[in-house]
Structure 1
């Protein structure tokens, strides 16, 4: 732990924007686990106390990110470890540490978590962790931060599933024309994750971003790999989306895209109801629009090959 960490008290409780109230004020609840010993205060109460003790801009920053974490997934467990707040779901998501000049959110598996909004600005050199340092006067983008938390939880769940199944790394995946991974067809999350892991270069982050977004927008989504492409669908309704790597972009196809509002820009007279978007390296990712399309597409009758 850094020597500049402080527990200095302040006279007032932190102010939080109405949209970002802590969980107790918004109805979100988290399980609480403390390591302070039997009969000691719960982790949530210890976190409350830390926020109150910090006060000022650091207390406000910690209160806000705490609220965003619980909004991203109300099933998150609040813990108190290493004398710091810890948020967990299928493993540690992140810790919250207060220093003299920064509030640091350290993501335990951050190096494996897609970060299209580039929130990570600290601990960038390692192979495992990544962190966000929030300084006085700064405010993390709420929607992007919640998406990052959801992606971190999805990464934890993937790791848990691999551990339970005894999955192990296999030889390198062959890349077909345009750099598209050759993955054997199969149902479930495993072949989709194998495809995403094999997506080359910057396309890998796009694949992880799309997968996390769909999982978040469509609870219980069905997955499969068909024709060397991930497919996403709803049980009993059919497939609504697929992903495919090409040389210079990633193609995201909505099988009933003509019924979406607004209609995605990609399409030809031969594509019938299907419409798509092409994502190039460096493109700005409109998460709100993509989420709206995914939610609309999942509610429509899907495509059955």
Structure 2
């Protein structure tokens, strides 16, 4: 039996069956691609200005070594940088659409890891662990350097010695008063003395100057002061060295120190004029007095 119902004719405004399944899996792919294209254009337009970013990445790796706590965190940083570089290489593959962006995402993590590895290797090769505890001991060593510090009335020397109570060769920095200076105490001299040695000091306040870190990279295991007299076993290799010889033939550091102090020793003309007596006729002289108790700069009458 035939039906009189009109057939259903699909209209253009009706959504086809399963229209929801026909959408792309990433609705904003065009917007994502435009962001990548903007980054690519920015990096391409930078030209040679891209090179300083490598220095920034290297410095960031060095800073990360100081911020992170220890070897476990440093190795974690290496793993993260390597994973980031490998992921960037696999994500872009050999696609030539974003060559500069791909190169940046691979190189920057590797340079960051290289900066951390650089400071870590320098710390392992040059860094010197400090002594375990403060100690007072009689030591024998060789003078590596001598620094005059007249403003503090003392001398600073760096000695190469054996660690007290051990066999490790270390460098220590000692201060001694000018009264303890002896002839022959110069660079290359073999001396024996009694000193108080302490580990390099940590920062007094959070974020303050860390002398312990400076001493670590400078190769100093301890600092301290000399107790008692200094005995020179073998004089300095600088022939004829003595305190007078040092004054006549100063080293470069001594010359620099004297040049910095020179303006402080030259009084200004105003100060010189104020301190020198003026030979003028004062009221005392005009009254015929030979002495004056009112002014210290008055000159006596002839």
TM-score scaled by structure 2? 0.22
Select the structure with the greater relative contact order (CA < 8 A; seq sep ≥ 6): 2
User: Which protein has the larger Cα radius of gyration, Structure 1 or Structure 2?
Assistant: 2
TM-score scaled by structure 1? 0.21
Structure having the larger proportion of residues in helix: 2
